[in-house]
Amino acid sequence: MTSKPFSISRRSFLKTGAATAAATGLPLWFLERELLGATSRPRPLGPNDRPGIALIGCGGQGRGDAKNATRFGEIVALCDVDEKHVNAAAEQFTKDGKVPAKYNDFRKVMERDDVQVIITGTPDHWHTLVNLAATQAGKDIYGEKPLTLTIDEGKHLVKAVRQHKNVFQTGTQQRSDARFRLACELVRNERIGKLKEVTVWLPAGLREGPFSAQPVPPELNWDFWLGQAPTVEYMPQRCHLYFRYWYDYSGGTMTDWGAHHNDIALWAIGLAGPVTVEGKALAQPIPGGYTAISEYDVKFTYANGVIHNVRTTKADSIFGTVEDPAGQRNGVRFEGTQGWIWVNRGNLRASDKGLIDTPLPEGAHRLYKSDDHMGNFFDCVRSRKLPVADVQAGHRSASISHLGAIALRTGLPLKWDPSAEKFVGEHAKEANAYVAREMRKPYDYSFV
Ligand X SMILES: NC(=O)c1ccc[n+]([C@@H]2O[C@H](COP(=O)([O-])OP(=O)(O)OC[C@H]3O[C@@H](n4cnc5c(N)ncnc54)[C@H](O)[C@@H]3O)[C@@H](O)[C@H]2O)c1
Kindly list the residues in this chain that would bind ligand X in the complex (CB under 6 A).
1-2, 56-62, 79-82, 85, 106, 121-124, 126, 144-145, 171, 173, 224-225, 227, 240-241, 256
Least distance CB 138 / ligand X (angstroms): 20
Query: Toward ligand X, which CB reaches closer, 121 or 387?
Result: 121
* Distant-in-sequence, close-in-space partners of 23: CB < 8 Å, separation ≥ 6: none
Crossing angle of the two packed helices 83-92 and 60-69, in degrees rounded to 10: 20
Q: How far is the CB of 319 from ligand X (least distance, A)?
A: 9
Specify whether the CB–CB gap between 110 and 134 falls below 8 A: yes
Closest separation between CB of residue 141 and ligand X, Å?
13
d(Cα 260, Cα 401) in Å, to the nearest integer? 10
Q: How near is the Cβ of 400 to ligand X at its closest, in Å?
A: 16
Residue nearest to ligand X (CB): 59
Return the number of the residue (152 or 256) whose C-beta is nearest ligand X.
Answer: 256
Other Cβ atoms closer than 10 A to 10: 11
Min dist CB 110 to ligand X, Å, is 12
Q: Is the Cβ of residue 85 or residue 299 nearer to ligand X in the bound state?
A: 85
CA 9, CA 42: separation in Å to the nearest integer?
14
CB nearer to ligand X: pick between 49 and 223:
223
**CB of 262 or CB of 410, closer to ligand X:** 262
* Least separation in angstroms between CB 150 and ligand X: 14
Nearer to ligand X, 62 or 205 (CB): 62
The answer to whether the CB of 392 falls within 8 A of the CB of 377 is no
Which CB sits closer to ligand X, 34 or 256?
256
* Torsion 42-47-50-55 (CA) sign: positive
Alpha helices in 243-366 (DSSP H): 253-256, 258-269, 353-357
Q: In sequence order, what are the beta bridge partners of 54?
A: 77, 118
- Rounded to a whole number of angstroms, the minimum distance from the CB of residue 236 to ligand X is 11
> Does an H or E element contain 398, and which?
helix 391-410
The smaller minimum CB distance to ligand X, of residues 199 and 228, is found at 228
> Is the separation of the CB atoms in 138 and 115 below 8 Å?
no
Task: Looking at 151-273, list the stretches that DSSP marks H as alpha helix, in order from N- to C-terminal side.
Answer: 151-164, 178-188, 222-226, 253-256, 258-269
C-beta of residue 282 within 8 angstroms of C-beta of residue 312: yes
The packing angle between helices 28-36 and 10-24, to 10°, is: 150
Minimal distance, residue 10 CB to ligand X, in Å: 30
Residue placing its CB nearer to ligand X in the complex, 246 or 334:
246
Least CB distance from residue 283 to ligand X, whole Å?
Answer: 22
Name 25's Cβ contacts closer than 8 Å, sequence gap at least 6. 179, 346, 347, 348, 349, 356
Within 10 Å of residue 277's Cβ, how many Cβ atoms? 27
